[in-house]
Amino acid sequence: PVPKFGPYQKALREIRNSLMPFANESG
Amino acid sequence: ASSLAAKINFKALRRKPSKSFNVRIVTIDAEMEFSCQVKWKGKDLFDLVCRTIGLREAWFFGLQYTEKGSVAWLKMDKKVLDHDVSKEEPVTFYFLAKFYPENAEEEMVQEITQHLLFLQVKKSILEEEIYCPPEASVLMASYAVQAKYGDYDPKIHKPGFLAQEELLPKRVINLYQMTPEMWEERITACYAEHRGRARDEAEMEYLKIAQDLEMYGVSYFSIRNKKGTNLMLGVDAFGLHIYDPENKLTPKISFPWNEIRNISYSDKEFAIKPLDKKTEVFKFNSSKLRVNKLILQLCIGNHDLFMRRRRVDSLEVQQMKSQAREEKARKQLERHRL
């Protein structure tokens, strides 16, 4: 089976990391 | 002049205009009005809408209306006015995707088909009907911006250019302590990476991400199992899924279409009979008989498409695909020239 978000995984990881410092504590 | 008069069929001139009524069709980005004949069946109206907007891949779509507060779809072989629609003119129908492709890139050929699905999915994500994680929301927003604005050019796309755009679900915005300017910066950084993507390509990239979201393309219904436990039933391109009402993302059980022998209902009781005779028949009740009818309609349609995808394309689809490939190649060549 093809992994979810296959070709986008790198871009998604980068965005996730860039958002992390701004996450609400409750989030 | 007298010979001309002799040729005119006066009986035809005296004939009363055929009885008709006005319908309003609301697509995801437009509204149109038609005069619909009383004798028309659902298919007549549906075909007219498809012809008007130039859509050939009609099998993904349907005309939706509200029947006593619940969603219903116009039946192709039933007269339009025999449906339980409000008879107040213009009679309103929503032209929407009823069935979703398993793989948009492989199955959707025409630009108009992709575009309509893109708009509908985008709306569902922004309205939080489909759960979308923050990072996917940002990446998809950047493709939506590429589709609308074309290639990023800092001389044109100055800070604040996205201020009026609705690009992210509110839930996502509320998860972070970020100003609108910071969100714009984040989305623009991704947008700048999509240089060279035409509108249809950017929309397809959007759909390719969307189709991996758990709730994409799933129609949910509240059901109760034989023990009276509240559950959710999901119908999609792959099969039937049973969820805990608290978690619509991960099904507790799934019945892929190729593992189902039969689906039936009598009154309010629905039964899914698996192909494997050792597996228990799953029985449940939905809220209304009307809902059962809708569930069965979606099961039949999705199952048909599931089977069709596994057969050789019809001649019509083969021709459409080859025309679309030629058109795409022509457009790419044109873009390179420019």
pLDDT in tens, B279-305: 889 999 987 888 888 999 999 999 999
* Residue B243: pLDDT over 70: yes
Q: What residues of chain A, 1 to 27, have a C-beta less than 8 Å from chain B?
A: 4-5, 8, 11-13, 15-16, 18-19, 22-24, 27
Percent of chain B topping pLDDT 90? 77
* Higher pLDDT pick, B101 / B332: B101
- Minimum-distance CB partner of B175 among A12, A15, A23: A23
Predicted ipTM of the assembly: 0.93
Distance (Å, whole) CA A20 – CA A24? 9
Q: Out of B112-116, B220-224, B334-338, which region has the weakest mean confidence (pLDDT)? A: B334-338
- The full length of chain B comes to 338
Beta strands in chain B (DSSP E): 20-26, 31-37, 61-67, 70-73, 91-97, 219-225, 230-235, 239-243, 253-256, 260-266, 269-274, 282-286
Q: Alpha helices of B218-288 — where are they, by DSSP H?
A: none
pLDDT at B133: 97
* Host H or E run for residue A10: helix A9-19
- Residues of chain A found within 8 Å of residue B134, distances taken between Cβ atoms: 15-16, 19
User: Cβ distance B36 to B45 under 8 Å?
Assistant: yes
User: Per the CB < 8 Å rule, is B176 touching A27?
Assistant: yes
> Where does the pLDDT of residue B335 fall: very low under 50, low under 70, confident under 90, or very high at 90 and above?
confident
- Contacts A3 to B, Cβ<8 Å: none
Q: What is the pLDDT of residues B168-199, one digit of tens each?
A: 999 999 999 999 999 999 999 999 999 999 99
Q: Which of B136, B174, B144 is nearest to B162 (CA)?
A: B144
pLDDT band with cut points at 50, 70 and 90 for residue B1? very low
Burial of B163 (0-12, 13-18, 19+ CB in 10 A): exposed
Q: State how far residue A22 is from chain B, nearest Cα, in angstroms.
A: 5
Mean pLDDT of B4-8: 51
Binned at pLDDT 50, 70 and 90, residue B321 comes out as: confident
pLDDT band at A1; cut points 50, 70, 90: low
* A3: pLDDT strictly greater than 50: yes
Q: For B200-215, what is each residue's pLDDT tens digit?
A: 999 999 999 999 999 9
Comparing B317 with B248, the larger pLDDT belongs to B248
**What is the per-residue pLDDT across A13-25, written as a single tens digit (0 to 9) for each?**
999 999 999 998 7
Measured at the CA of B216, the angle between CA B210 and CA B222, to 5 degrees, comes to 160
And the tokens for B148?
A: 């609308």
Average pLDDT over residues B57-67: 95
Taking all residues of chain B, what is their mean pLDDT, rounded to a whole number? 92
How high is the pLDDT of residue B308?
93
* Candidate ranges B82-86, B215-219, B319-323; pick with highest mean pLDDT: B215-219
Q: Residue B334 has what pLDDT? A: 86
CB contact (8 A) between residue B177 and residue A11: no
